[in-house]
Amino acid sequence: MNYKRIFKTKEARSRFLKKLSFLPDSTMVKLQYFIKLNRRLNLKNPVRFTEKLQWYKLHYRNPVMKQCVDKFEVREFVKHKGLEDILVKLYGCYEGADQVDWNALPDSFIAKKTFSGGGHDIYICKEKTPENIEEVKKVFDFVPGNVPNKTSGREWAYSGLKRRVVIEELLINEERPEAGINDYKIFCYNGKAGFIVYDTDRYIDHRRNFYDTEWNDLHIESDCPKCKTDIPKPENFEEMLRVAEKLSEDFPYVRVDLYNLKGRIYFGELTFYPWSGYVQYSPDSADFMFGEDFELRKCQ
């Protein structure tokens, strides 16, 4: 079933899911899993990575997760880990566009919702024109207050978060500024790095590769095609793994997103439910491989 053919926009899908808010969490994730992956969800004995993520949503309740998924509050978590130097420069955190001193901002910056993720929840401002400022203000188009206790994906860590927007320094890929910066998403299990997802050309021809911790290409595809050329291992790759493991040591599973520009590592975000656990991997065996080190017994 291709649900995107039925609900062609994110807004349409969101409206549909809100109408199902009365459903229990377990019923909701089973329904979404079947619609998006065309197979039944096994919650009694989850083996696949995508299945274990659904179990994680329903059962793992570490309160620190809420701090870590909030794009403003997570900065204190990173500082607490002794990694303040990897934080992107912050210009401010705001509850509404009327609180922003637009004249004080630099000519380029990025605005992000603190309580959610995805391309629809950010705005990249490369030039501070009046027209672009009006576009930035659309990021603030949300109901003030907190996120409901039942999110559409039933992702517990995001429930109850305060709705705000952070404005940060815009990191630039000087070689290809139109493509956006490359993203290293590191799957970590109990403080140990397991796999790396490399995202490139996000805004022009989005590509994605999967690697092991020796930077061997695993030849896996997801909802995004593989890169057309070989990607060299970063010179400071071992340091990236060290940073990811430090940030992940408190959790059975978390994806640590980092950037790497001119040999300097920057923090992106922490994600406990990557792609909400609704990605079809090819080959299908990758779903089982990613789930092997995800030990649910340590979530009790």
Whether 258 has a pLDDT exceeding 80, the answer reads yes
Q: Is residue 104 part of a domain?
A: no
Tell me the angle at which helices 49-59 and 25-37 cross, rounded to the nearest 10 degrees. 160
What pLDDT shows up at residue 171?
95
Alpha helices, DSSP H, located in 94-253: 130-137, 237-248
pLDDT in tens, 174-183: 777 666 789 9
> How many structural domains comprise the chain?
1
DSSP H stretches of helix in 123-255: 130-137, 237-248
The DSSP string of 60-111 is ---THHHHHHSTTTHHHHHHHTT-GGGSPPEEEEESSGGG--GGGS-SSEEE
Q: How much is the mean pLDDT over the chain?
A: 91
Average pLDDT value for residue range 101-121: 89
Cα torsion 271, 276, 277, 280 to 10°: value is -120
Q: For residue 166, tell me if it sits in a domain.
A: no
In a domain, 206, yes or no: yes
Type of residue found at 180: G
Q: Is residue 110 part of a domain?
A: no
pLDDT confidence of residue 150: 77
Each residue of 84-99: pLDDT tens digit? 999 999 999 999 999 9
Backbone dihedral angles phi then psi of residue 143, each to the nearest 5 degrees: -75, 125
Distance CA 253, CA 272 (A): 7
Answer yes or no: is pLDDT of 128 > 90.
yes
And the tokens for 77?
């978590």
Structural domain range at position 238: 42-69+77-86+178-300
Of 4-8, 75-79, 106-110, 188-192, give the lowest mean pLDDT range.
Answer: 4-8
290: in domain:
yes
How many Å separate Cα 175 from the centre of its chain?
Answer: 25
Q: Confirm whether 233 is domain-assigned.
A: yes
**190 contact partners, CB below 8 Å, separation of at least 6:** 248, 249, 251, 252, 253, 293, 295, 298
Three-class DSSP category at 120: helix
> For the segment 186-223, what is each residue's pLDDT rounded down to a tens digit?
999 999 999 999 999 887 889 999 999 999 999 999 98
**Residue 299 burial by Cβ neighbours in a 10 Å radius (0-12, 13-18, 19+):** middle
Predicted confidence (pLDDT) at residue 1 exceeds the cutoff of 60: no
Query: What is the per-residue pLDDT for 5?
Result: 53
Q: In this predicted structure, what is the pLDDT of residue 7?
A: 56
- pLDDT tens figures, 271-288: 999 999 999 999 999 999
**Portion of the chain with pLDDT greater than 70, in percent:** 93
Residue 148 has pLDDT above 90, yes or no: no
Annotate 15-61 with DSSP letters as a single string: HHHHHTTTS-HHHHHHHHHHHHHSS----SS--SHHHHHHHHHHH--
The confidence score (pLDDT) of residue 179 equals: 62
Closest of 135, 116, 114, 140 to residue 125, by C-alpha? 135
* Contact indicator for 265, 236 with CB cutoff of 8 Å: yes
Confidence at 121, pLDDT banded by 50, 70, 90 = confident
For the cut 60, the answer to whether the pLDDT of residue 83 exceeds it is yes
Note whether residue 27 is domain-resident: no
Whole-angstrom CA distances from 22 to 18, 26, 50, 159 are 9, 12, 24, 15
Is residue 214 one of the residues assigned to a domain? yes
